[in-house]
Amino acid sequence: MIKLIINVVRKPGMSHEEFADYWRNKHGPLVKSVTEFTRHVRKYVQCHLTSSGIPLGTVGVFDGIAELWFDSVKDMEQAFSEPRYMEIVRPDELKFVDLAKCVSLVTEEVSMI
C-alpha cells in the first residue's frame, strides 16, 4: 500500500479559517464526486490543524495534511493523470492552495504500534 502525504499551504491572502472551510466543505466533496479519480484511491483523509497549539516546539508552516492511499505507485500515477482530475479537481486546488509551497511525499507505511 502506498500513501501520498501532502503538507498543504493555503493561498496568500486567504485566512486559515477560510482555507479550512473551503478544503473541508467544497474541495473534499468535489474530490469525492470525481469517480474517475476516486476509483484509484483506497482512502482520502484531510488532517486539519487544531487550535490546541503546536506540539514538540515545531513552527507551523503548513495549514494541513492530505493523506491518500493507493494500491501501488502505478495506481497513484493513473489517478493524477485522469482527464477528469485535471479538468475538475486540479483547477479547484488552485483556488485555495499554494502548490509551490506544498511538500509531497510518496511513502509506504510501516506500523509500529
For position 109, what pLDDT does the model report? 87
Could you read off the pLDDT of 42-85 as tens digits, one per residue? 999 999 987 765 555 455 689 999 999 999 999 999 999 999 99
Position with higher pLDDT, 41 vs 60: 41
Residue 103 CB coordination number (10 Å): 12
CB 6, CB 104: distance < 8 Å:
yes
Q: 2-107 is classed in which CATH architecture?
A: 2-Layer Sandwich (3.30)
- End-to-end CA separation in angstroms for the chain: 18
Handedness of CA 38, 46, 62, 1 (dihedral sign): negative
Look up the pTM and report it. Answer: 0.89
In this prediction, residues 9-16 reach a mean pLDDT of 94
